[in-house]
Amino acid sequence: MQAPLTDMRSSRQSARDTASLRWPGDAQSRVPAWIYSDPEIFAREMQVFHHGPTWNLVAAECELPVAGSWKRSSIADKSVLVTRDQNGEIHVMENRCTHRGIALCWKHRGQSRSIVCPYHNWTFDLKGALKGVPFEHGTKGAGGMPESFDKAQHGLRKLAVTVRGAAVWASFSDNPPAFEDYVGPVLPVMDRITTNRRPKLLGTSRQVIDCNWKLWMENARDGYHATLLHTFLPAFGLLQPDTPMGQITPHEGHVITGQYLPVRDKTAADPTAAARPAGSRFLLNDMDVVTTAHDEFGDNQNIGFQLFPGAMYRQHLNIPSYRQIIPRGPRRTEVQWTIFGDESDDEEMTLLRLKQANLVGPAGFVLVEDSEVLAKIQASVESYPESVQVTEMGGSDAGKTQRLVAENGIRAFYTYYRAAMGL
């Protein structure tokens, strides 16, 4: 019987000598297509980045509102648990029973005083310590675990944890870099999220896209396509090709982006008219989605950042959100969105945030096209793994830019990526 096409393709790529792969000549502005589907490259990425000495987004802190809260999360292919213990301290640990290896929690989130394995009922506290083993001393005085068995040696493996910027960050590394050093110049932007604020969870969404994780990360820092693919943005005056868009690529593959909030004349019949292209006549049933923008942070800016390897924060008008990018294989990526407001919000502000939440997410007015395009790119690069992509818009350097129509962020991504991967 003929092998399935996907199996044949994987076999061909696995047989290739990964060590012989070479980056194209003009390294800063060329990207080889084989990096998006080669299984050996993907396996190495997981070890170098997601399972290595990096910090990974695993939850928004507001997803763990009270003692006993827990969330099932992921760092790439590894399932983890994020918990808040009875003292309010946050922990991250492997979602894997130390007895036979089954996943402990199957739901996305919950609240309990302990974690009980569904298989043999081994019980762990919210710090990961093993507290109970059924029939540890046998039945009727016979059997049970040997006297040498020590529950203290069989707790869940704990990850390094940092809580910063309204989010929980974790690392598999036994010796991760100091978080402040790792994020570097991103830190003030991250701290801006919680300055005089108490984030409140408004909702979450998830989607799976048939594309390599790097395609999603590139797309999120690519201003060139913003007003071309996402026609909603210029149609409603949210973004134009000549909109000043600051983008800084400080270090470690991270990026900071920022733009000024749109100025609206709320007294006009169509407050977006002055910022729209000539002839644009689109309207929404509720124009608050695109016309209202409160300057919550006192700096008149929409600011965001991308933290390598798989986290993004973005403020769209008055709806801030975290996005967790989870590789599910060389050809599949899960994106988890967490949107939040503030504990001080009144009903009117909460309603505005929920309206503007329609801008983002899997079916958002602004972002719905991305998943379709990225899946199409994936199919193409797999068909032509020898092809080379060009990223020269805005020049060939990887430094900061004040232009929206530029690919500096992609060039910076691969400058760091190549150095870390040894390619």
CATH of domain 185-421: 3.90.380.10
The reported pLDDT for the residue numbered 288 is: 86
| Domain extent listing, the chain | 56-162, 185-421
| Tally of CB atoms within 10 A around 265 | 13
- The values of phi and psi at residue 379, to 5°, are -60, -40
User: Which residue in this structure is represented by tokens 């818009």?
Assistant: 393
Return the beta strands (E) in 210-329 as ranges: 246-248, 255-260, 301-307, 311-316, 319-327
- The values of phi and psi at residue 44, to 5°, are -70, -40
Question: How far is 53 from 47, CA to CA, in rounded Å?
Answer: 9
Q: How many residues does the chain have?
A: 423
pLDDT in tens, the chain (423 residues): 344 433 433 433 443 454 467 898 767 889 999 999 999 999 999 999 999 999 999 999 999 999 999 999 999 999 999 999 999 999 999 999 999 999 999 999 999 999 999 999 999 999 999 999 999 999 988 999 999 999 999 999 999 999 999 999 999 999 999 999 999 989 998 999 998 889 999 999 999 999 999 999 999 989 899 889 998 888 888 888 887 766 676 566 888 877 655 544 444 444 555 555 555 667 788 888 888 888 888 888 888 899 999 999 998 889 999 999 999 999 999 999 999 999 999 999 999 999 999 998 898 988 889 999 999 999 999 999 999 999 999 888 877 777 888 898 899 899 999 999 998
The reported pLDDT for the residue numbered 266 is: 47
The reported pLDDT for the residue numbered 387 is: 94
The reported pLDDT for the residue numbered 280 is: 61
The reported pLDDT for the residue numbered 251 is: 64
Token representation of residue 13: 């790529």
- The values of phi and psi at residue 208, to 5°, are -115, 130
Question: How far is 205 from 289, CA to CA, in rounded Å?
Answer: 19
CATH of domain 56-162: 2.102.10.10
Domains 56-162 and 185-421 share a fold: no
Q: Report the alpha-carbon angle 390-228-394, nearest 5.
A: 40
- The values of phi and psi at residue 141, to 5°, are 80, 5
The reported pLDDT for the residue numbered 9 is: 39
The reported pLDDT for the residue numbered 297 is: 86
SS3 203: strand
The reported pLDDT for the residue numbered 394 is: 87
